[in-house]
């Protein structure tokens, strides 16, 4: 293993002395930022889509909105995220004459992509809430929107926290493709360290470890959240 020690030494050299750790920290920050902000956007838009899809279809407006949502979900679930990133960064935004940094493009694309998945998760969550809850709210004279916001969605969210946690973990891992449009994530950082002396073994190993730790931390947070939300299930 003498060879490996040497590789480790070289890695350490670049990591500390050539400022590799700064890149890694930036990459880590960007990775987490894209995943967290992407999920936030995803939850926001996804919930809206889910509500539109479970709404009673009484008139043309709600029907066409539903059609739009189905199209949206089909579009974002039907193409790989890399393709979406490339199309957004090199096709859609330039055509619209908009010039924004790659990192923000990533946040938006990951948000829009995640919205498609979250909408399906949220929809199943809403459908899992006893219809009697909506009936009780309506029978008290609360309108559809208020009953949805105050009664149904909070219960739906509680039911889907574990699944949303899964989505968050997928997002963290999927961010590893953002270098396709030039955003600096963990891959970019470790690739930089590796190409410094053409030793890729240790950098990529460390990168894998960081992803594992990141996902483990995310899973822990989700579990804590789940536990605190379960409080209303038993408390005297």
Partner 1 sequence: MIDVINLRKAYGSTEVLKGITTTIRQGEKIAIIGPSGSGKSTFLRCLNRMEEPTSGSILFEGRDITDRKADIDEHRRQMGMVFQHFNLFNNKTVLENIMLAPVYLGLRDLRRLKRRNRLVRLRNLFHGEKLPLHPIETSKARIREEARENALRLLKRIGLEDKANAYPSTLSGGQKQRIAIVRALAMNPKVMLFDEPTSALDPEMVGEVLDLIRQLADEGMTMVIVTHEMGFAREVATRVLFMDGGNILEDDTPERIFTNPRHPRTREFLSKVL
Applying CB under 8 A, among 60, 61, 78, 236 the residue interacting with partner 1 is: 236
Residues in the chain: 236
Using the contact rule CB under 8 A, the part of the chain among 102-110, 114-122, 135-143, 216-224 near partner 1 is 135-143
Applying CB under 8 A, among 28, 55, 93, 151 the residue interacting with partner 1 is: 151
Nearest Cα to 41, choosing from 124, 118, 99, 98?
118
What is the signed CA dihedral for 165, 170, 176, 180, rounded to 10 degrees?
-120
Other C-beta atoms lying within 10 Å of the C-beta of residue 99: 7
Using the contact rule CB under 8 A, the part of the chain among 27-35, 65-73, 140-148, 216-224 near partner 1 is 140-148
CB of 133 to partner 1, least distance (A): 6
Query: What is the torsional sign of CA 109, 55, 222, 224?
Result: positive
Applying CB under 8 A, among 62, 93, 158, 215 the residue interacting with partner 1 is: 158
Q: Is 143 in the site for partner 1 (CB under 8 A)?
A: yes
The answer to whether the CB of 198 falls within 8 A of the CB of 148 is no
Distance CA(117)–CA(162), nearest Å, equals: 14
Q: Is 97 in the site for partner 1 (CB under 8 A)?
A: no
What binding mask, one character per residue, do residues 102-131 give for partner 1 by CB under 8 A, x or -?
----------------------------x-
Distance CA(132)–CA(203), nearest Å, equals: 55
Q: b/e for 104-135, b at 16 or more Cβ within 10 A?
A: ebbbbbbbbbbbbbbbbbbbebbeebeeeebe
3-state SS, residue 198: coil
Using the contact rule CB under 8 A, the part of the chain among 14-22, 98-106, 146-154, 190-198 near partner 1 is 146-154
Using the contact rule CB under 8 A, the part of the chain among 89-97, 137-145, 163-171, 201-209 near partner 1 is 137-145
Q: Is 60 in the site for partner 1 (CB under 8 A)?
A: no
CB of 211 to partner 1, least distance (A): 35
Distance CA(210)–CA(214), nearest Å, equals: 6
Query: Please, which residue, 18 or 158, has the CB nearer to partner 1?
Result: 158
Applying CB under 8 A, among 140, 182, 203, 208 the residue interacting with partner 1 is: 140
Return residues touching partner 1 (CB under 8 A).
130, 132-133, 135-143, 146, 150-151, 154-155, 158, 232-236
């Amino acid at each position: 293993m003498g060879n490996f020690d040497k590789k480790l030494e070289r890695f350490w050299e670049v990591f500390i002395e050539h400022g590799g750790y700064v890149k890694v920290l930036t990459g880590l920050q960007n990775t987490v930022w894209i995943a967290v902000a992407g999920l936030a956007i995803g939850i926001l838009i996804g919930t809206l889509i889910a509500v539109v899809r479970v709404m009673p279809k009484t008139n043309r407006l709600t029907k066409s909105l539903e059609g739009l949502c189905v199209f949206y979900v089909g579009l974002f679930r039907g193409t790989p995220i890399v393709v979406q990133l490339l199309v957004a960064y090199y096709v859609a935004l330039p055509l619209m004459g908009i010039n924004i940094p790659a990192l923000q493009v990533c946040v938006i694309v990951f948000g829009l992509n995640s919205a498609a998945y979250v909408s399906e998760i949220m929809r199943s969550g809403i459908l899992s809430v006893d219809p009697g809850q909506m009936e009780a709210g309506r029978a008290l004279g609360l309108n559809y929107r208020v009953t949805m916001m105050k009664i149904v969605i909070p219960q739906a969210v509680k039911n889907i926290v574990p699944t949303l946690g899964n989505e968050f973990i997928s997002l963290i891992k999927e961010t590893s493709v953002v270098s396709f449009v030039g955003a600096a994530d963990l891959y970019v950082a470790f690739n930089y360290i590796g190409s410094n002396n053409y030793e890729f073994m240790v950098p990529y190993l460390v990168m894998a470890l960081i992803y594992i730790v990141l996902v483990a931390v995310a899973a822990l947070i989700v579990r804590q959240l789940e536990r605190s939300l379960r409080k209303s299930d038993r408390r005297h």
